[in-house]
Amino acid sequence: MDETVDVIIIGGGVHGASLAFHLAQRGVTPLVIEKSFLGAGATGRSSGLIRMHYDQRTNSELAWTSFQYFRNWEERVGGHCGYVRTGFVQIVAAEHMEALRANVEMHQTIGIPSQLISGEDVQRLAPSFATDDIVWAAYEPESGYADPTSATAALMAAARDHGAQLQQGAVVTGIQVDGGKVRGVETSEGDFSAPIVVNAAGAWAGQINGLAGVDLPLDTWRHDTMFVLRPEGMEKTHPAAIDDPREMYFRPEGELTLVGLEDNNPIGESPDSDTDHAKPGFVERAIERICLRIPAMEGGRLHSAHGGYDGITPDQFPMLGPYGPEGYFLQCGFSGTGFKTAPAVGACMAEWILDGAPSTVDVAVFSPSRFEEGRAVVREHPYQQIWH
């Protein structure tokens, strides 16, 4: 098999599907190559949070632009993404109050519906939350969560309706480069030719870079999550939250609450390691912390727990744009926070490929060349490095 297309996208997660969707809408024929099945990697293990709160403006702009897709999914993409509005609360430690205030002001200039609320307000929104340590929090009433697997399937289905192709079960074994330009890829299912190759391979993106002769500081990062069945007597739902003092985030899903922790996340493991089970000790730590924030969870019951892997960069921001051989693009390194920005990133990358520069959001700050140029992305009003 030796087929020629306009653009080859390596990786069938939400980012690969989003790029295929935006390219196909513009009359380009992309081919998505996935070694397993759609959403099998980081996307399928994503916690699915939909929120705009970041301490870096470009990420907030991407999340806000993407939110317009999530809340109008059927009209803008078709199918379903599982978006559920729960509201979102950002809780920070007392020493970060000024940064919190500055970030909310930044979000408001973008147009994001965000506001500062008191601990008493949090208590009214979520009666089960322990709020004695909360002076102020940020609140986004429109935020919530969505289903990453459904969103990816919908994006890919819409892309295929416009001519995109999908090759599943194909492992990329080589990147063809001739005269400093990419020519295509070699896979376990044959060769495919294209003048543009995009690395959207998530936790495997570093391996793909190696095939293209690209050396960048991109590693793997593991993240475990658990689901807890909420006890009877607790409210039927609650806001999603990032709880920095507890180094934790959580959100509802039906009768369950998903919990993830932001510490002790291993760096550098093989992305092919076991993800069917959480690491030893994770569940115990997660239960202890969620019970500190929601004491009623003492009466809850563990439903399940698993792991997942994503790509991570030194500054914990993505690599977006061209790098290395002519025609080679990166759309990876999202460091665990890529799902909520995927629709906008796909639009930006399609513009970069077809128009020479992104216009939906200026994402040049995330250019992969920043590492060799010594200009890591700076958080305007930082709280902390979240994944450690």
* Same domain assignment for residues 156 and 32: yes
Give this prediction's pTM.
Answer: 0.97
Q: Which residue, 337, 259, 271, is CA-closest to 309? A: 271
What pLDDT score does 316 carry? 95
Could you tell me if residue 77 is inside a domain?
no
What pLDDT score does 388 carry? 39
CA distance 190 to 2: 6
- Structurally, the chain folds into a number of domains equal to 2
Facing residues of 301 across strands? 229
Which domain does 276 fall in, by range? 85-142+220-308
* Same domain assignment for residues 214 and 226: no
* Same domain assignment for residues 285 and 318: no
CATH number at residue 251: 3.30.9.10
* Same domain assignment for residues 129 and 239: yes
Record the tokens describing residue 268, joined without a space. 């550098």
Could you tell me if residue 285 is inside a domain?
yes
* Same domain assignment for residues 237 and 303: yes
* Same domain assignment for residues 23 and 162: yes
* Same domain assignment for residues 138 and 234: yes
* Same domain assignment for residues 138 and 224: yes
CATH number at residue 193: 3.50.50.60
Q: Which residues of the chain have pLDDT under 70?
A: 1, 385-388
Q: Which residue, 273, 306, 304, 348, is CA-closest to 66? A: 348
* Same domain assignment for residues 243 and 295: yes
